[in-house]
Amino acid sequence: MFVFRGYTEVIHMNGSTVNRFASAAVGTSAILLGLRQVGRTRVLSVAAGTGLLAYGALAKPPHRQPVSLEPLAITRVITVGKPRDELFRMWRDPQVMSDLFGDVLQVSREGEGRIRLHMSLPGRREITWTSRLVEQGQGSSLLWRTDPGAAVPHEMFIRFRDAHPAEWGTEVTLGISPLSNDRVTKALVRLTDSVDEAMLTKVLRRFKSLVETGEMPTLSHNPAGRHRAIAAA
């Protein structure tokens, strides 16, 4: 299993709608006016106008919130010896998800495309939230996003890719990404990333065992001398 922290940064030409229209209008005017000029003034006006027109036409619209913040994503990847379609189908079953997350997280269906997640925290505290399936690439990826009001707004995603050579099966990447990059969120991610990585690792390993063998390795009811001491306490 490999660890991959998504620190890739993508530079976009971002701009507001007003800026883009204004740039396009000014650019067009500059080109038209420039074409009436001669010599150096004509070249400069047409060049500046072309630049402004290009910005107006090509700049990406601003992101709609919420949006996943890949630089803060925590991902783990594992290779599973089964075909991609089979794995994709299994991950759509909330019961399978609940089995995989085990005692960390209970997952149940909450209507079409929506799941309810329940987590017990130390000190008998509990949190519950719902997430909605917002993207699915047929046989290749699934992405759930928390509904408004979640204590920790985030996305969870899983991606499937054919392994090479094919006898290895499918490479499966599981990740979580917060929906904010403010200081508090960054600090929280740094504080919990090792726990999150361990949980993702465990979930992926359980998934691999389940699909390859029909069961997950477990230590439940594992005999040990300490059980008696614990019971006495």
Partner 1 sequence: MRALCWNGVNDLRVETVPDPGIVNPHDVILRVTSSTTCGSDLHFIDGYIPTMRAGDVIGHEFMGEVVETGPEVRNIKKGDRVVVPSFICCGQCWFCQHDLWSLCDNTNPNAELQEPLLGGTTAGIYGYTHAFGGYAGAHAQYVRVPYGDIDCFKVPDGLRDEQVLFLSDAAPTGYMGADFCVTPGATVAVWGCGGVGLMAQRSAYLLGAERVIAIDRFPERLAAAREHCGSETIDYSSVDSVLDTLKEMTGGRGPDACIDAVGMEAHGTSLMAKYDVVKQALRLQTDRGEALREAIMAIRKGGTLSILGVYGVMDKFPIGVIMNKGLTVKTAQQHGQKYMSRLLDHARKGELDASFLATHTFSLEDAPRGYDMFKNKQDGILRAVFRPN
Read off the amino acid at residue 225.
Answer: G
Could you tell me the smallest distance in angstroms from the CB atom of residue 225 to partner 1? 3
**Quick one: how far is CA 146 from the chain centroid?**
11
Could you tell me the smallest distance in angstroms from the CB atom of residue 201 to partner 1? 5
84-91 and 94-101 are packed helices; what angle lies between their axes, rounded to 10 degrees? 90
Q: Which is nearer to partner 1, 10 or 231 (CB)?
A: 231
> What is the gyration radius of the CA atoms in the chain, in angstroms?
25
Q: Which residues fall within 8 angstroms of residue 14, CB to CB, at 6 or more apart?
A: 59, 60, 62, 63
Nearest CA-CA partner of 129 in 103, 110, 157: 110
Helix (H) or strand (E) holding 85: helix 84-91
What residues numbered 35-94 form the site for partner 1, per CB under 8 A? 79, 81
What residues numbered 163-222 form the site for partner 1, per CB under 8 A? 167-169, 198, 201-202, 205, 208-209, 212-222
Q: From the list 18, 224, 232, 233, which residue makes contact with partner 1 (rule: CB under 8 A)?
A: 224
Q: Which is nearer to partner 1, 3 or 184 (CB)?
A: 3
What residues numbered 131-160 form the site for partner 1, per CB under 8 A? none
Q: By CB under 8 A, name the binding residues for partner 1.
A: 1, 79, 81, 167-169, 198, 201-202, 205, 208-209, 212-229
